[in-house]
Amino acid sequence: MQFSDFGQHFTRESAILQLMDDLGKALAQEGVNMLGGGNPARIPAVNALFAEVLRDIANGDDCAAAVENIGNYSEPQGDRAFLNTVAAFLRRHYGWSVSAENLALTNGSQNAFFYLFNLFGGAFTDNQGNTVQKSVLLPLAPEYVGYADVQVGGSRFVSVPPQIENVQYGGRDGFFKYRIDFDALEKLPQWAAGEIGAVCCSRPTNPSGNVLTDAEMARLDALARRHGVPLIIDNAYGMPFPNIIHRDAELVWHDNIILCFSLSKVGLPGVRCGIVLARPEVIRAITALNAVVNLAPTRFGAAVAAPLLQDDRLKTLADNVIRPFYRRQADLAVSLLQKEMADLPVRIHLPEGAIFLWLWFEGLPAGSDELYRRLKARGTLVIPSEPFFVGIDTAQFCHARECVRISIAQDQAVLARGIAAIAAEARALYGTG
């Protein structure tokens, strides 16, 4: 059997496939220190709430509603009742003038980005019938590794190296924070050539946990509007759920912004429910893609989430349980890291949100790829940094090969064992072990 060019492209080893494979295999295996995946934590209060909703759905009259829900296709745009529920939620909490025509469901956020990056990147035909290749601009590198391989004609992303600032966290040294290099960004020659189709960032940023400031967001927003391209914001870790964000930040939306929410990090990755908020024209495009790629998006997540959005139980859970949980996990991991690695030239990206910490081993001999391989062989999973520098020529940028992403979703024992293992292997690479 021979595969098409499309097949060849997508069956090459992709970073996201490797990551998901590692995650799946590790979950099936005993005794792995799983600091590698993006799976949310098992939080008892979260599980209790989902169990309660499942029981509410299954018992009494409600089971008829659940069977009705699993027994019918939704519209390609997504379950209509849930779209109305989400719109009402957003009007109530943010005062935005939005309705169901501004919303579409996808099979998780990854599915939304597959659509969006192919709608706004790749080959465009202009009025004269000429083809222009457009890229998606990622203002802050490193960015989410799952973006890298989604474009059907081959990856088209552009980014610029970040500025690196030394900062303190809780009065302690040993931390850094990435800043967008706006001067470089605004002067990119691709702007003048009309070769940028959209601007996209995750906030909080996966992998670094960076939360772009409101001022940075406003400047990106203005940049996108000035050039007539949309600003896409990946809000999978942001407000109002799961709200894993530890600094002041405002959530802004208007019709040049495409805002992507997810139910995954609030604890429901298995139901695959992404939510896109955008102007109706974009929603219609996503709806059309849903019809062709999936017929209709999956519906059960809507059944679980709808009652939790209606009475704000999900938002309360995020504010009172999920956010404080990850804040504690971040502090725990930081203290373990600083204890285990006091002798190593490592810095931690400022923990501002998301479910990861991002470590920078300055001058690490052989790079974090080798660190990853050695750790995997010894039963600890982390994610090496280079694939996260999507759209950057990393050949001249050593920093891109000196970091790792670790998940902080695991319990204290796993974190402690995993961090000790990372310290030992890093020490061996630096030749100080």
**Between residue 251 and residue 310, which ones bind a second copy under the rule CB under 8 A?**
256, 264, 267-272, 279, 281-282, 284-285, 287-289, 291-301, 304
Compute the least distance from the CB of residue 365 to a second copy, in Å.
31
76-135 binders of a second copy (CB under 8 A): 76-77, 80, 107-111, 114, 118-125, 131, 134
Closest to a second copy by CB, 142 or 197: 197
The distance of closest approach from Cβ of residue 321 to a second copy in the complex, given in angstroms and rounded to an integer, is: 14
Using the rule CB under 8 A, is 152 a contact of a second copy? yes
Which DSSP state fits 78? Answer: -
Nearest Cα to Cα of residue 290 among 72, 151, 154, 112: 112
Sole window of 15-23, 200-208, 372-380, 393-401 interacting with a second copy (rule: CB under 8 A): 15-23
Nearest-approach distance from CB 253 to a second copy, in angstroms: 15
- Cβ 201 vs Cβ 138: under 8 Å: yes
Nearest-CA neighbor of 371 among 320, 406, 339? 406
Residue 25 makes contact with a second copy by CB under 8 A: yes
Q: Classify each residue of 274-287 as buried b or exposed e, where b means 16 or more C-beta atoms within 10 Å of its C-beta.
A: bbbbbeeebbebbb
346 binds a second copy per the rule CB under 8 A: no
CA dist., res. 330 & res. 315, Å (int)? 21
Using rule CB under 8 A, residue 414 touches a second copy: no
- The residues facing 137 across adjacent strands are 158, 199
**Position among 20, 184, 420, 424 found at the interface with a second copy (CB under 8 A):** 20
CA 185, 186, 187, 188 dihedral sign is positive
Among 55, 91, 328, 378, binds a second copy (CB under 8 A): 55
Residue from 33, 69, 85, 410 that binds a second copy (CB under 8 A)?
Answer: 69
124 CB-contact burial (10 Å; exposed 0-12 / middle 13-18 / buried 19+) = middle
* Residue 38 within binding range of a second copy, rule CB under 8 A: yes
Q: What residues between 305 and 344 interact with a second copy by CB under 8 A?
A: none
CA atoms within 13 A on the CB side of 34: 23
Site for a second copy contains 36 (CB under 8 A): no
How many other C-beta atoms can be found within 10 angstroms of the C-beta atom of residue 49? 20
Radius of gyration of the chain (CA): 22
Q: By CB under 8 A, tell whether 8 contacts a second copy.
A: yes
- Least Å from the CB of residue 118 to a second copy: 5
Site for a second copy in 225-254 (CB under 8 A): 228-230
Size of the site for a second copy (CB under 8 A): 102
> 151 by DSSP, 3-state: which?
coil
Positions 132 through 151 that interact with a second copy (CB under 8 A): 134, 146, 149-150
